[in-house]
Structure 1
């Protein structure tokens, strides 16, 4: 009779998993090829059957509920075992069934109409800044950082990300900028400092909005940097530049064409846009059931082919495409380490079950970028073919110029985040 033991025996080739079942019997899987190792114990026979029937979701829920306990190693070690053998797990009958079903209903899963988008944002971003302060950088950048050397601190890498994006926007004094999905305001405030531009940041998160507005007040730039609680589809103004970092993942595949049409319509005659998003080297797929149910409801990271297919009918030029491969993995290593260092405080804020869920999220995401198929793309779009110089030399030149303007600002912008978060 098929069982979880048979599934694990077939799937685990690299590394070793030692499993103690609910009756106390010990089973060892793998060990034929070197790789990560972990030891787990089940406290419930029911959990074993649930995981056999739906491994990807029910294993996560079993850990969250205490039905799956780590006997040695951490939950990250168990996730490492899974990703070392993911190709074999993906070929198991239960995984094939659930992935196939998810593909058939993904349009419903990604039905991000305006009302549903607001609810999805609240589910993730309005759970409280106290949690995010425990693992993000001091500027509260909740997106992929930039590690050109790989040795940068998380604060340095997030500054380098903002500098790189500002350089690719090729800002000119007097321009108007739209920041779609502005988070806690760090990018908008940075752009308004490195160039004499006006910025409108839009978000669907009430908590992020309050912090962003307060930061602008503290820095004395509310006349140039505005933040509004509206969906990108509700913006009617035109801008010289549009930037969107980590927001495309909340659009959904069915809405990609209308998203890029909206970006086009927001751009003036010589307009330029920079879209930064999680993506994958694989063909279009689906969001994993754990992330979809507990972390990012309605979320989906589009493949490059999906994004480009949605851009082509808009008439916009794809001026540049840059792929960041390991950068988000390094970012998540920093986030996970900081979260674990502050785990006791996180439990006091959110409770033990939530913290187990968050450990899973950070660990899975890290492995997806360092062992799986995920990456990040930056798409530079423009109305005109000569919207930016025809070689990339200008980017490094702009970064050098912008770095000189950061002097004295970085500590002030970080201080504004700390004060606004304390007041929130």
Structure 2
């Protein structure tokens, strides 16, 4: 298996060099360059086999279990090199086959019924809120921020993101707004505070709901947070917003999601969906992310989303693609997480902390080098609902 692992790395890595220490103590270098080499250690032979057979899943598991250890450089340095190198290469026939198999069964993996959606959300979002406070901004925004300048802070970037959402929705005082996937309540509270709208926020996370309701109780804003699935929602809303939730819908439910938006939206209403997306054709969820981080989740191609929107009678009135903003957001989260990593270990354990470090580092590198972006899709029922230029957003 050593030869297979070495060949796989040699095919990927050109520069800088990686020194790989194998379980028998031998060292093999791949790549070249004068810069100090990264060094990783593979602890045991079973890990060699797993890395050779299913690298996308096995590397994350091995790091999480302490069976692959970065001894020189950081975990982010290693993943940044591997992901950027892989993006420049055609995948091997074996990796291509695995990806095809995952794509073929993705609807089964994303069987997000009401019950399964609740379970999948709890897996990630019902972690202790104090854990998320280790690395999120003060408002606990857990989605892509907007960085207009390199020196913009995370707090500033999240505030700018929220204000851009308010502007794109063109909310008027007194209107009714639905926030699908309302998280810890920060966006809903901002919408009510800055626009004078009445906001209903829905989430499937018990932990998030408790925080959101407590925050709302401290204000006199017209905000109501509920534990509810979007599919069971009734009523009529002038504006609908969904930020960082569509990734959990699942490919088999896209038409149902947009059908519900069309049903809930008034004739002159506006909806805005903010979601991670891929700039490549449809594919499958990374197996490590699907197994350990976001079960049932999927990052869509724009072609998949737009096809569902068109079939449900909605008009796409504006599209914006945010490039690299999520890489900067994840960088800030990763650095904050590492600064307080010992607290994460105390809350959970070392294995959990390694899993999250891998997730944050791999995600940052993927948004920096791979095909991941963020789509903001503005929707309406009528072509003339909004002004025909973006000036209203700027104002």
Normalised to the residue count of structure 1, the TM-score between the two structures is: 0.90
Residue 90 of structure 1 and its aligned partner are, at CA, apart by 5.4
Residue 49 of structure 1 and its aligned partner are, at CA, apart by 1.1
Structure 2 equivalent of residue 3 of structure 1? 4
Structure 2 equivalent of residue 300 of structure 1? 298
Structure 2 equivalent of residue 387 of structure 1? 385
Residue 36 of structure 1 and its aligned partner are, at CA, apart by 9.3
1:291-327 deviation line (CA, Å, top 9, x unaligned): 0100000001111111100100122111100110011
**Matched ranges for 1:1-400 at <5 A:** 3-31=4-32, 37-87=37-87, 91-221=91-221, 224-397=222-395
Cα distance in 2 for residues equivalent to 1:5 and 1:18? 10
Moved more, 59-68 or 86-95: 86-95
Cα distance in 2 for residues equivalent to 1:357 and 1:94? 26
| Matched positions, count | 394
**1:239–1:271: 8 Å Cα contact kept in structure 2?**
yes
**1:36–1:84: 8 Å Cα contact kept in structure 2?**
no
**1:249–1:301: 8 Å Cα contact kept in structure 2?**
yes
Cα distance in 2 for residues equivalent to 1:6 and 1:365? 25
Residue 108 of structure 1 and its aligned partner are, at CA, apart by 0.6
Residue 11 of structure 1 and its aligned partner are, at CA, apart by 2.4
Q: Secondary structure at the match of 1:3?
A: helix
Coordinate RMSD, CA, aligned:
1.5
Residue 163 of structure 1 and its aligned partner are, at CA, apart by 0.2
Q: Secondary structure at the match of 1:15?
A: coil
Residue 150 of structure 1 and its aligned partner are, at CA, apart by 2.9
Runs of 4+ in 1 over 4 A off after TM superposition: 34-37
Cα distance in 2 for residues equivalent to 1:35 and 1:89? 22
Unaligned runs of 5+ in 1: 398-424
Cα distance in 1 for residues equivalent to 2:108 and 2:90? 23
Cα distance in 2 for residues equivalent to 1:87 and 1:172? 44
Cα distance in 1 for residues equivalent to 2:232 and 2:17? 52
Cα distance in 1 for residues equivalent to 2:272 and 2:143? 14
Structure 2 equivalent of residue 417 of structure 1? none
Cα distance in 1 for residues equivalent to 2:293 and 2:94? 22
Residue 35 of structure 1 and its aligned partner are, at CA, apart by 8.7
Residue 15 of structure 1 and its aligned partner are, at CA, apart by 2.2
Q: Secondary structure at the match of 1:269?
A: strand
1:237-287 deviation line (CA, Å, top 9, x unaligned): 110000000000000111111111111111012110011000011011111
Normalised to the residue count of structure 2, the TM-score between the two structures is: 0.97
1:10-65 deviation line (CA, Å, top 9, x unaligned): 22223221101111100001116x89952101221111111111111111111111
